[in-house]
Structure 1
Amino acid sequence: MSVFSLVLNILWLALGGAVAALGWFVAALFLMITIIGLPWARAAFDNGVYTLWPFGAKPINREFLYGEEIGTGPLGFLGNIIWFVLAGWWLALGHVVAAFFLAITIIGLPFAWAHLKLAGFALWPIGRTLAHSEFRRRAY
């Protein structure tokens, strides 16, 4: 991770990222407690991790790392549809609105970009995981 990414992550945490990530972790805990929400608990936890440290990370398809599994197949697609309908679209909308207001100032541009990345991940998180920005898929 570059020094620039580290500085941006520290500023992000100090200016509200830690509180937002805590919200995701509480939501993940709530989803784990309820039997019905258990399939979406990992998605909420991954969103929390990404919200905690958004610079220097990127979401990738879990299939690239682990092969096909339950979250990357048809059940993952169905889980994403349910997530999108019940939570994903308005969570992404919140990130887009925050990005709009941050993009008004030059200083807020990197944080606006982070919110846009978080919006994409919050929209369709199941079957995805986080990797370093330098991660490249190897051809085998």
Structure 2
Amino acid sequence: MGCLGNLLWFIFGGALGGLSWCLAGCLWCITIVGIPVGVQCFKIAGLTFFPFGKEVEYGGGAGSFILNIIWLIVSGLVLALEHLVWGIILCVTIVGIPFGLQHFKLAKLALMPFGTEVR
């Protein structure tokens, strides 16, 4: 189911979500200071392209907390709202519920991407 889910996800919206994360990563990588943030965006873009079968574990310390606050102000809210809106739209139908739940997982990740580990 994971392979089929990832394929359907990529065709019907995962590619757009992943490209949003890639765009955010490119914008962060313009400055030298933002390169670590951009690299994290590219890692999450890989998760956004193919999210089924992967879990996100949250953790981190003070450094992650400070980066998450800066991220939330600059880029996080826009990406989280994008995933939230798509999740609500997809949960309207029974067939779209698994895809909507993945968008909700990614919306939470868009709010707190630092200090997380994808398994």
Partner of 1:27: 24
Q: Which runs of 5+ in 1 are unaligned?
A: 64-71, 132-140
Partner of 1:78: 66
Partner of 2:11: 14
When Rg is computed on C-alpha atoms for both structures, the one with the higher figure is 1
Q: Is the 8 A contact 1:17 1:52 kept in 2?
A: yes
Alpha-carbon distance between aligned partners in 2 of 1:57 and 1:113, rounded to the nearest angstrom: 13
Alpha-carbon distance between aligned partners in 1 of 2:90 and 2:61, rounded to the nearest angstrom: 36
1:109 to 85, 89, 97: 97
Q: Is the 8 A contact 2:24 2:75 kept in 1?
A: no
Report which of the two has the higher share of helix. 2
The structural deviation recorded for 1:58 is 1.1
What residue identity is the alignment partner of 2:103? H
Residue 60 (structure 1) aligned with residue 57 (structure 2):
yes
Please, what TM-score do these two structures have when normalized by structure 1? 0.76
Q: Deviations over 1:3-51 (max 9, x none)?
A: x111110001111212321332243233223223223113211220110
The structural deviation recorded for 1:93 is 1.8
Q: Which runs of 5+ in 2 are unaligned?
A: none
More divergent stretch after superposition (49-58 vs 23-32): 23-32
Alignment length (residue pairs): 119
